[in-house]
């Protein structure tokens, strides 16, 4: 009898602890509770590690409210990567606005990172800004920009890449060609066969390694399905 009482007591204790733990998890993962505190950390003089941790958590719970504080870190050499890590998953056009606005004030790695994030988010509104970046003196900027345009995958992005392929120096030409193929594939997926075929043919008619031409030929055949 005594053993039964002990077992019941232990079971009740375990259930109670589990309930408290679950409640704690619910509170811990509620964005409305965490977000203001995390934003406050970013705005404070907290050590770098605390701000990194705040960015990591905001990637999970961040909303449009966190965008200004994160955007303010885009020019920070040590924190720009984590700021973008937190910004990219936030489903708000405010993120795209912030990344486009930041491009004019960034240089070096922060600029390259912002361009990459624009590509990840497939921000079609950024295409005019990215077109200018294709002429940048920094080959890394050019290659990153080309990849971003390839991911955006609109006719405007494809036209910019087509024009760049003929003008880009050898150091970046392969990256531009690869972006052309990626953009053409995106256009094909969207049912824009004529635009995709134009890009594939552009790559196929450019002096490039054989595997690029083979990929372009295959894409062109798929784009002209009726033939």
- Domain spans of the chain? 35-121
Model confidence at 27, in pLDDT bands (50, 70, 90)?
very low
Interatomic CA distance for residues 133 and 141, integer angstroms: 7
Q: How far is CA 165 from the centre of its chain?
A: 24
- The mean pLDDT of 110-126, rounded to a whole number, is 97
In CATH, the architecture of 35-121 is Alpha Horseshoe (1.25)
Q: Are 178 and 151 in contact (CB under 8 A)?
A: no
Q: Is the pLDDT of residue 225 over 80?
A: no
Burial of 90-114, coded b for 16+ CB within 10 Å and e otherwise, reads beeebbbebbbebbeebeeebbbbb
The predicted pLDDT at position 176 comes to 95
The predicted pLDDT at position 200 comes to 93
Q: Are 211 and 182 in contact (CB under 8 A)?
A: no
Instruction: Name the nearest CA neighbour of 186 among 225, 214, 158.
Output: 158
Task: Say how many C-beta atoms besides its own lie within 10 A of residue 55's C-beta.
Answer: 25
Task: Say how many C-beta atoms besides its own lie within 10 A of residue 51's C-beta.
Answer: 23
pLDDT for 141-161, tens place per residue? 999 999 999 999 999 999 999
Q: pTM of the entire structure?
A: 0.81
Q: Is the pLDDT of residue 186 over 60?
A: yes
């Amino acid at each position: 009898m005594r053993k039964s009482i002990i077992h019941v007591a232990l079971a009740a204790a375990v259930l109670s602890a589990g309930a408290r733990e679950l409640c704690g998890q619910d509170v811990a993962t509620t964005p409305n509770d965490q977000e203001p505190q995390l934003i406050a950390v970013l705005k404070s003089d907290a050590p770098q590690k605390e701000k990194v941790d705040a960015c990591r958590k905001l990637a999970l719970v961040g909303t449009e409210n966190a965008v200004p504080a994160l955007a303010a870190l885009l020019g920070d050499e040590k924190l720009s990567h984590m700021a973008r890590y937190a910004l990219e998953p936030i489903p708000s056009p405010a993120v795209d606005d912030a990344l486009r606005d930041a491009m004019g004030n960034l240089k070096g790695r922060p600029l390259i990172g912002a361009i990459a994030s624009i590509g990840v988010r497939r921000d079609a509104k950024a295409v005019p800004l990215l077109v200018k970046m294709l002429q940048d003196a920094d080959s890394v900027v050019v290659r990153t920009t080309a990849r971003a345009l390839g991911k955006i995958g609109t006719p405007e992005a494809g036209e910019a890449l087509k024009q760049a392929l003929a003008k880009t120096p050898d150091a970046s030409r392969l990256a531009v060609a690869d972006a052309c193929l990626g953009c053409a594939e995106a256009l094909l997926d969207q049912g824009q066969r004529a635009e995709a075929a134009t890009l594939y043919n552009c790559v196929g008619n450019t002096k490039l390694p054989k595997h690029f031409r083979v990929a372009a030929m295959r894409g062109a055949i798929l784009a002209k399905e009726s033939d």
